[in-house]
């Protein structure tokens, strides 16, 4: 979690966010939506260096799905298509009822990791992803009961307060995902990322998301700060201006930059060791 760890060549965990639930093929025709497409993408990013895949489930028409049944189909397909990649399910869901938000945790086997949103985020002019404390605590209790490693989603600086609130309940090491982008996310800048990292608790591991054009510079900065990186089409559709990305191309680029900077890319087994994840492969 420090520049010294960068200098020591600490392995970097690359997470690939393959599909998301906000946009779909109407935005990027190559975005994987079906279980088969998501599984194919998962195999490609594992080959490219991703240690973790972040999964959402969808209906046949690309719309959001939260049911255990839909997640089971996706996660089974990904397990069949990959060797050892760590499987992380999303529990995010703007406007979805709390009971549905817990459904992705109930697959068999349970996901090894899951996202845990630390507070509210606005979407468009009329929608807010609320993520009340009750929701956070309820989802976290489910994760602890099922032995699922939470990744704390820090949409902005104030959400660090919420992370500190549950710090004592977290298995070691705490793992926080710092998210920079538009709207109610932390405004994307190197100074803001640096400031967030300075405020993390001792011993924490952190991951970085930069939305859109901020993915490349801010994940690169994370490499220098001893952090991990998340890339993928959920967060960014373009490899560079005017050139649509694939999930594998984004992971390949992150792995190449990490190598250039002296950060070896963590295997799934190394990622489990670094992040305190119980294997279910």
Q: Is 124 in the site for other proteins (CB under 8 A)?
A: yes
Triad 100, 103, 104: Cα angle to 5°: 120
Q: Compute the residue count for the chain.
A: 281
Whether the bond into 173 is cis, omega within 30 of 0: yes
User: What residues form DSSP beta bridges with 55?
Assistant: 89
Q: Which of 125, 198, 202, 242 binds other proteins (CB under 8 A)?
A: 125
Q: Which is nearer to other proteins, 121 or 248 (CB)?
A: 121
| Strand bridging mode 14-17 / 113-117 | unpaired
Decide whether 26 or 168 has the Cβ nearer to other proteins: 26
Instruction: Write down the least CB distance from residue 251 to other proteins, Å.
Output: 23
Minimum CB–partner distance for residue 86 and other proteins (Å): 25
Q: Taking contact as CB under 8 A, which single stretch among the options 79-87, 122-130, 156-164, 257-265 is the one that binds other proteins?
A: 122-130
Binder of other proteins out of 10, 14, 24, 226 (CB under 8 A): 24
Which residue from 5, 23, 213, 269 is in contact with other proteins, where contact means CB under 8 A?
A: 23
- Is-cis flag, bond preceding 159, omega within 30? no
Residue 122's CB: how many other CB atoms inside 10 A?
Answer: 15
Which residues are paired to 38 by β-bridges? none
Nearest approach, Cβ of residue 163 and other proteins (Å): 25
**Which 74-103 residues touch other proteins, going by CB under 8 A?**
94-97, 100
CA-wise closest residue to 113 among 175, 66, 160, 61: 175
Distance CA 122, CA 113 (A): 25
Binding mask 33-72 for other proteins (x = CB under 8 A): -------------------------x-xxxxx--------
Residues 249/240, Cβ–Cβ less than 8 Å: no
Binding site for other proteins (CB under 8 A): 21-27, 29, 58, 60-64, 94-97, 100, 123-127
């Amino acid at each position: 979690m420090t520049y010294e760890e960068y200098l020591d060549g600490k392995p970097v965990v690359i997470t690939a966010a393959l599909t998301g639930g906000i946009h779909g093929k109407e935005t990027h025709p190559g975005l994987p939506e079906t279980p088969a497409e998501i599984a194919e993408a998962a195999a490609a990013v594992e080959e490219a260096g991703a240690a973790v895949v972040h999964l959402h489930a969808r209906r046949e028409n690309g719309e959001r799905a939260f049911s255990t049944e839909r997640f089971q189909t996706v996660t089974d397909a990904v397990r069949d298509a990959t060797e050892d990649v760590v499987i992380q399910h999303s529990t995010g869901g703007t406007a979805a009822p709390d009971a549905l938000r817990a459904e992705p945790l109930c697959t068999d086997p349970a996901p090894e990791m899951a996202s845990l949103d630390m507070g509210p985020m606005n979407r468009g002019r009329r929608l807010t992803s609320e993520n009340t404390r009750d929701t956070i605590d309820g989802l976290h209790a489910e994760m602890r009961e099922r032995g699922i490693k939470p990744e704390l989603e820090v949409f902005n600086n104030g959400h660090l307060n919420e992370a500190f609130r549950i710090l004592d309940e977290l298995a070691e090491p705490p793992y926080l995902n710092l998210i920079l982008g538009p709207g109610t996310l932390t405004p994307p800048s190197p100074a803001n990322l640096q400031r967030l990292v300075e405020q993390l608790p001792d011993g924490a591991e952190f991951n970085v998301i930069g939305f859109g054009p901020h993915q490349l510079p801010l994940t690169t900065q994370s490499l220098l700060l001893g952090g991990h990186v998340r890339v993928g089409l959920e967060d960014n559709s373009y490899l560079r201006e005017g050139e649509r990305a694939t999930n594998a191309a984004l992971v390949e680029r992150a792995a190449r930059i990490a190598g250039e900077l002296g950060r070896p890319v963590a295997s799934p087994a190394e990622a489990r060791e670094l992040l305190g994840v119980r294997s279910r492969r």
